[in-house]
Amino acid sequence: MDFDFSEEEQAISDLTQQIFEDKVTHEHLRSLTESEEYFDRDLWLSLADTGVVGATIDERFEGAGLGFLGITALLEKVGKFAAPIPALETIVTGALPIQEFGNEIQRAELLPKIAAGQLIVTTALISSEKAMAEDGQVSGSFDFVSFGLEADIFLLPTDTAVYVIESTSTGVSLESRETTTGHPQATLTLNNVDAQQLGTVTAEEFMTWIRLRIDSAICSIMCGACEASLDLASEYTKIRQQFDRAIATFQAVSQRAGDAYIDTEAVRLTSRQAAWRISAGLPAGEQVAIARWWASEAGFRVVHAATHLHGGVGVDRDYPLHRFFLMARQLELTLGNSEEQLVTLGDLIANKA
């Protein structure tokens, strides 16, 4: 099977690369960190203006109507540049389920604004206090909501259905939570908050649908982080001299880099295979589980290999590699460790036998 991008998907990848090369420099990311800002709104608006944000939104709602693989083209670059934008949250966990499960009024109201970069959407998945809905109001608590502090709209699976709430609604409380990458997530607490049900989808159906796509998307981001880490190691070992020769010529160094390259390509192949099957409307549970294993296991190996190949420079917190190391670590923890993925794969194989 050919998992390469189509002409339209490759155009999204190339355009994103061009925008990120111009705007997502190490110096710019460092200035954001020093100012305790993480979300680069100007970058997000640039992507929206060029049609990248709305690439997978239906043309009826001012998007380009591409499939799920079109998101992969963007997410790989998000990982490669450690871009501080809510692509996973707003597109994968926001626009896609609204388009899939929302009623026509919800789609017409929300999707054009998302495509234009005017709405930041995220989905709260980790319930620390089971959310309950009654008479159009929701109460409960969710922890570690990614981009929860910046979001305008939340999608909330409750005991039965899924609800849409605005962050400015009365009864919404947000508290910052520290994470591995340094970008704080949110604890979201709801106290009788007015909410609107998302179509007629059940919470169980929604969670099954969304988790498959989130896992696939995270694997795509990990692919980009691995590629960036390997590129940094490659350039460094070419210029780092020892015994009057570049250390890239040493057998042990080239073997370690070669293993990291194979791992990176395995993460790329398996993540694209999973995304391709989702995009084609085919069963993808097994392929996503395989991609998750490679992203967790090989992603860990690649960033560690890149760090070791840099020697002491690799542990410099101001060096770009440190940013990818933290990103890969958080993505790995979000997916679950590789042993958990093997258990999932084992169950899938057993059920198929």
- Per the confidence metrics, is the pTM higher than 0.85? yes
Tens-digit pLDDT profile for residues 245-294: 999 999 999 999 999 999 999 999 999 999 999 999 999 999 999 999 99
pLDDT(1) > 70? no
70 in Cβ contact with 12 (< 8 Å) = yes
Judgement on whether residues 15 and 127 belong to the same structural domain of the protein = no
Smallest CA-to-CA distance from 188 within 210, 203, 207, 166 is with 166
In a 3-state reduction of DSSP, which class is residue 232?
Answer: helix
> Strand runs (DSSP E) across 135-230, as ranges?
137-145, 153-157, 161-166, 172-177, 185-194, 196-202
Q: What domain range is 139 assigned to?
A: 121-194
Instruction: Indicate if the alpha-carbon torsion angle 150, 153, 155, 156 is positive or negative.
Output: positive
pLDDT tier at 6 (50, 70, 90 boundaries)?
confident
Judgement on whether residues 233 and 189 belong to the same structural domain of the protein = no
In a 3-state reduction of DSSP, which class is residue 105?
Answer: helix
Instruction: Indicate if the alpha-carbon torsion angle 311, 316, 317, 321 is positive or negative.
Output: negative
Judgement on whether residues 133 and 165 belong to the same structural domain of the protein = yes
327: its two tokens: 């990103």
* CATH number of 103's domain: 1.10.540.10
Of 91, 115, 139, the residue that ends a domain is 115
Number of structural domains (the chain) is: 3
Judgement on whether residues 164 and 60 belong to the same structural domain of the protein = no
At CA 169, angle to CA 166 and CA 170, rounded to 5?
A: 160
The burial class, CB within 10 Å (0-12 / 13-18 / 19+), for 3 is: middle
Judgement on whether residues 208 and 327 belong to the same structural domain of the protein = yes
Tens-digit pLDDT profile for residues 166-214: 999 999 999 999 999 989 999 999 999 999 999 999 999 999 999 999 9
Judgement on whether residues 169 and 307 belong to the same structural domain of the protein = no
* CATH number of 140's domain: 2.40.110.10
Distant-in-sequence, close-in-space partners of 154: CB < 8 Å, separation ≥ 6: 121, 122, 123, 124, 145, 148, 164, 165, 166, 167, 188
